């Protein structure tokens, strides 16, 4: 679809009261889309609402939502369709950024971070995909991951695991939705000027039993100053909109990672055994590649297509 074809389309964006989510909301509004936005606190909602009002834009439908609450997510999907009549776009953006040595993490750490960053995406897909399909007008699913979906490090093990999971789910989902005219994009932003680093200060009581050291607020706030050098959220949102309009399966917003990807490529190739694979295994992989290509051309692929 061209950019103009998105005018009037309805999008639901999670975590839209701040950061990248609000950047996406502004970019979508600038493109003429109609919006339903999830948020967590009233101060965020009031601040963001003012942006739409001062530009004479249609007021978004605001829905207070904890993305880990499956019943609330299902109710949000119903509310969006009741309000607009249909929904075309789902943007799974809400997430938490929590850091600490992975070897010290507790079950509570895993449950909280994975529950929001991966579970929230799952809840969005299960709740909204039937609505998007039902419109019969196609649409798009945009899952916001992170460069951590490709790049790992010593302080973000669970966060990285959650983003790797979002990446895998998104890449597979893209094959499934082509027959419905629904595109799927994986977005991997890097440093953006947001308050994401302060997630540890907002930890829910239900997940209080962290294996990490007690939060040092001064240290966290010092770390958060790095985000001041990040990309403007609206710039990220505009790049995400363009990628969606072009139906790109992978959207990178930042250019500064060529060195990392070169290293990933070379390391991966070097790790492959230097030997010839037997013909029967080569045929299995040929069929897999052919099935993937056919799926992207609109075929529904079943297990019979893989053997």
The answer to whether 59 and 34 are in contact (CB under 8 A) is no
User: Residue 231 CB: number of other CB atoms within 10 A?
Assistant: 20
- Count of beta carbons in the 10 Å neighbourhood of residue 174: 22
Instruction: For residue 143, count CB atoms less than 10 angstroms from its CB and return exposed for 0-12, middle for 13-18, buried for 19 or more.
Output: buried
The DSSP bridge pattern shows strands 10-13 and 34-39 to be: parallel
Residues tagged active-site: 159
Calpha distance 21→135 (Å, rounded) = 24
């Amino acid at each position: 679809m061209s950019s103009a074809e998105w005018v009037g389309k309805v999008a639901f964006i999670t975590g839209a009261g701040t950061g990248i989510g609000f950047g996406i909301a502004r970019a979508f509004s600038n493109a003429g889309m109609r919006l339903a936005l999830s948020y967590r606190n009233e101060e965020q909602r009031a601040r963001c609402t003012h942006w739409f009002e001062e530009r004479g834009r249609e007021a978004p439908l605001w829905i207070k939502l904890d993305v880990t609450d499956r019943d609330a997510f299902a109710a949000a999907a119903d509310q969006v369709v009741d309000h607009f009549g249909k929904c075309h776009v789902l943007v799974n953006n809400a997430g938490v950024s929590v850091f600490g040595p992975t070897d010290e993490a507790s079950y509570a750490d895993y449950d909280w971070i994975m529950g929001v960053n991966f579970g929230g995406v799952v809840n969005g897909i299960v709740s909204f995909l039937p609505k998007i399909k039902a419109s019969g007008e196609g649409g798009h699913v945009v899952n916001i991951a992170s460069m951590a979906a490709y790049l790992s490090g010593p302080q973000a093990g669970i966060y990285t695991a959650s983003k790797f999971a979002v990446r895998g789910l998104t890449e597979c989902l893209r094959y499934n939705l082509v027959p419905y005219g629904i595109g799927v994009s994986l977005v991997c932003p890097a440093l953006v000027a947001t308050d994401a680093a302060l997630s540890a200060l907002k930890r829910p009581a239900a997940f209080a039993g962290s294996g990490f050291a007690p939060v040092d607020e001064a240290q966290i706030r010092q770390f958060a100053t790095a985000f001041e050098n990040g990309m403007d959220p609206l710039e990220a949102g505009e790049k995400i909109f363009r990628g969606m309009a072009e139906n790109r399966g992978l959207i990178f917003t930042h250019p500064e990672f060529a060195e990392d990807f070169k290293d990933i490529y070379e390391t991966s190739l070097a790790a492959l055994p230097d030997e010839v694979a037997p013909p029967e295994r080569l045929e299995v992989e040929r069929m897999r590649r052919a099935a993937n290509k056919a799926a992207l051309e609109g075929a529904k692929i079943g297990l019979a297509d893989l053997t």
